[in-house]
């Protein structure tokens, strides 16, 4: 970082620029480089084949993928651009309760497309410093442009919401500015964007128009919960369950999401090793207790 700023400082600034202007420019360039470095490009590891969702959701995700993969043929060669001028949209919104696999899906989409993944937590982008949010938004799009990565906006509820028509405070004004910047960036961005939101909300129609589809990630039914439990018990896990135990697990975990299943397995394993050491066995009782603890935790924060 320091080295980069230094080389920018010694760059020729062009005719007629004062030293002051030069150093302001250098500082801005340094800041921009710093901003870009804040966003990491991850190699996605999750696979669509491992995602446990209902058929409807999977069909929607696959349709999105094929539209992206075949975009050129569909829109240029087949001429679909003529009947669907807004067809350049390559953004989707995944919505549903916490722990239902929205982040998993975003990663799996990147994996399927052979792209890197940039996770942009919207709450983090909305910087604590007034006036920085628009710069951060621009920077994350720039990073995605430079790297070809899929841009994943997690916790995007606030950004997709309606712009405020009655601006009473400067903070409201700032929100509107951020949303406008987001719209402009989305319009000029040729890459793939995935939003994740907990609520199917009150979206700004301007965003709704730019989003190809809204995909619901719902809480798993009994069959899906069984697959989720199985998927979260790796071969090395010291656990052996009877058919009756599996049924019990599936039954008591009604209303829980995949994320809760993950937490319950971690909790049960930690309990068992704490009790009996590395030679332990995880029992159905450990798992049932873990489910109960998870449910209590959810109830305590009011999401049950
Ligand atoms: N539909 C799902 N299929 C497979 N695993 C899931 C699913 N939903 C949740 N999980 C498990 O829970 C973890 C957390 O899920 P996550 O994708 O972060 O949920 P969300 O982003 O909706 O809050 C995942 O890493 C995975 O282990
Ligand atoms: Mg998530």
- Number of domains making up the chain: 3
In ligand 1, the atom with minimum distance to the C-alpha of 107 is 17
- In this structure, the number of other CB atoms found within 10 A of the CB of residue 175 comes to 19
Per-residue confidence (pLDDT) for residue 128, from 0 to 100: 64
Q: How far is CA 21 from CA 14, 25, 29, 277, in A?
A: 11, 6, 12, 65
Measured from the Cα of 104, ligand 1's closest atom is 17
More confident: 106 or 29: 106
Tell me, in angstroms, the distance from the centre of ligand 1 to residue 161's CA: 24
Q: Residue 258: nearest ligand to its CA?
A: 1
Q: What tens digit of pLDDT does each residue of 35-48 get?
A: 888 899 999 999 99
State yes or no: pLDDT of 11 exceeds 70.
Answer: no
Q: How many angstroms separate the alpha carbon of residue 43 from the centre of ligand 1?
A: 18
Residue 7 has pLDDT above 60, yes or no: no
Sheet holding 117-121, edge to edge: 117-121, 150-154, 193-197, 91-95, 213-216
Task: Give the residue, by CA position, lying nearest to ligand 1 atom 7.
Answer: 101
Model pLDDT for residues 124-181, shown as the tens digit of each residue: 888 767 778 899 999 999 999 999 999 999 988 877 776 666 666 666 777 788 888 9
- pLDDT on residue 303: 64
Distance of CA 213 to the CA centre of its chain: 15
Same domain, 20 and 65: no
| Ligand 1 centroid distance, CA of 226 (Å) | 14
Shared domain for 182 and 237, answered yes or no, is: no
> For residue 124, is it within any domain?
yes
Atom of ligand 1 nearest to the CA of 106: 17
**pLDDT (tens digit, 9 = 90+) per residue, 212-234?**
888 999 999 999 999 999 999 99
Tell me, what's the pLDDT at 8? 39
Q: Which atom of ligand 1 is nearest to the CA of 96?
A: 22
- Residue 20's pLDDT band, with cuts at 50, 70 and 90, is confident
Higher pLDDT, 199 or 156: 156
pTM: 0.87
Closest ligand by atom to 95 CA: 1
Tell which wins on pLDDT, 130 or 83.
Answer: 83
pLDDT digits (tens, 9 = 90+) for 24-70: 888 888 888 888 888 999 999 999 999 999 999 999 999 999 988 99
**Residues 166 and 241 placed together within one structural domain of the fold:** no
Taking each helix axis from N to C end, the angle separating 284-300 and 243-252, rounded to the nearest 10 degrees, works out to 0
Same domain, 205 and 228: no
Quick check: helix, strand or coil at residue 221? coil
Maximum distance among all Cα pairs of the chain, rounded to whole angstroms: 82
By the 8 A CB rule, do 180 and 76 touch? no
Model pLDDT, residue 166: 64
Starting from the CA of residue 45, give the closest ligand.
1
Q: Whose CA is nearest to atom 20 of ligand 1?
A: 99
- Work out the average pLDDT over 9-15: 45
> In angstroms, rounded to a whole number, what is the distance separating the alpha carbons of residues 116 and 151?
9
Q: Considering 199, 216, 233, which residue would you say is the last residue of a domain?
A: 216
| Ligand 1 center to 288 CA (angstroms) | 20
Using one digit for the tens of pLDDT, what is the confidence trace for 272-302? Answer: 999 999 999 999 999 999 999 988 888 887 7
- pLDDT at position 176 is 82
**Are 181 and 60 found together in one domain?**
yes
Is 15's pLDDT higher than 60? no
pLDDT band at 98 (very low <50, low <70, confident <90, very high): very high
* Segment of 19-33, 81-95, 140-154, 177-191 carrying the highest mean pLDDT: 140-154
Ligand nearest to the CA of 234: 1
Supply the mean pLDDT for the chain: 87
* Residues near ligand 1 (Cβ within 6 A): 51-53, 98-104, 196, 217, 228, 231, 257-259, 262
Q: Are residues 196 and 231 in the same domain?
A: no
Q: Which residue among 194, 218, 233, 258 is best mutated to probe the pocket of ligand 1, counting the most ligand atoms within 8 A of its Cβ?
A: 258
The minimum-distance atom of ligand 1 relative to the CA of 53 is 1
Ligand 2 centroid – CA 86 distance (Å): 28
CATH number reported for the structural domain that contains residue 177 in this entry: 3.40.50.300
Nearest residue (by CA) to ligand 1, atom 17, is 101
Q: Is 42 a domain residue? A: no
Assign 3-class secondary structure to 148-194.
CCEEEEECCHHHHECCCCCCCCHHHHHHHHHHHHHHHHHHHCCCCEE
What is the DSSP-derived secondary structure letter of residue 277? Answer: G
Residues 56 and 172 in one domain: yes
Q: Is residue 242 domain-shared with residue 209, that is, in the same domain?
A: no
Domain edge (last residue) among 172, 199, 216:
216
Which CA distances in Å does 295 have to 14, 87, 105, 248, 254? 65, 43, 24, 15, 10
Are residues 104 and 13 located together in one domain of the fold? no
Contact 293, 274 (CB under 8 A): no
**Is the same domain home to 181 and 88?**
yes
Question: Is 149 found in the same domain as 90?
Answer: yes
Question: What ligand is nearest to the CA atom of residue 99?
Answer: 1
Mean pLDDT lowest for which of 4-18, 116-130, 187-201, 287-301?
4-18
pLDDT grade for 21, boundaries at 50, 70 and 90? confident
Q: Which residue has the tokens 């509107």?
A: 176
Q: Give the pLDDT of residue 175.
A: 78
Cα 215 from Cα 152, distance rounded (Å): 14
120 in the same domain as 63: yes
The DSSP symbol for 93 reads: E
Tell the residue nearest (CA) to atom 13 of ligand 1. Answer: 259
Instruction: Give the burial string for 100-125 (b: 16+ CB within 10 Å, else e).
Output: bbbbbbbbbbbbbbebbbbbbebeeb
Instruction: Find the domain containing 16 and state its range.
Output: 2-37
Looking at residue 13, its pLDDT comes to 45
Residue 43 in any domain: the answer is no
225 CA → ligand 1 middle, Å: 12
């Amino acid at each position: 970082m320091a080295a980069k700023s230094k080389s920018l400082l010694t760059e020729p600034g062009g005719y007629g620029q004062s030293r002051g202007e030069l150093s302001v420019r250098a500082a801005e360039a340094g800041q921009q480089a710093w901003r870009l470095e804040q966003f990491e490009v991850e190699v996605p590891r999750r696979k669509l084949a491992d995602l446990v969702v209902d058929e409807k959701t999977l069909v929607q995700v696959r349709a999105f993928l094929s539209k992206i993969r075949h975009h050129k043929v569909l829109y240029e060669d087949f001429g679909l651009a003529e009947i669907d001028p807004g067809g350049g949209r390559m953004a989707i919104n995944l919505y549903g309760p916490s722990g239902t696999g929205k982040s998993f899906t975003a990663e799996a989409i990147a994996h399927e497309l052979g792209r890197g993944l940039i996770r942009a937590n919207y709450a983090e982008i909305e910087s604590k410093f007034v006036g920085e949010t628009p710069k951060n938004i621009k920077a994350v799009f720039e990073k995605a442009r430079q790297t070809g990565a899929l841009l994943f906006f997690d916790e995007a509820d606030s950004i997709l919401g309606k712009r405020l028509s009655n601006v009473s405070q400067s903070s409201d004004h700032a929100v509107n500015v951020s949303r406008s910047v987001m719209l402009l960036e989305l319009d000029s961005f040729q890459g793939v964007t995935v939003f994740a939101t907990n609520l199917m909300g009150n979206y700004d129609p301007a965003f709704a128009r730019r989003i190809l589809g809204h995909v619901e990630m719902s809480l798993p039914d009994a069959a899906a919960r069984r697959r989720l439990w199985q998927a979260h018990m790796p071969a090395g896990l010291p656990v052996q369950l009877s058919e009756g135990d599996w049924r019990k697990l599936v039954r008591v975990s009604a209303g829980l999401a995949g994320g809760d299943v993950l937490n319950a397995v971690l909790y049960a394993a930690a309990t068992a090793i704490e009790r009996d050491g590395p030679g332990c066995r995880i029992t159905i009782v450990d798992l049932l207790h873990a489910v109960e603890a998870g449910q209590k935790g959810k109830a305590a924060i009011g999401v049950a």
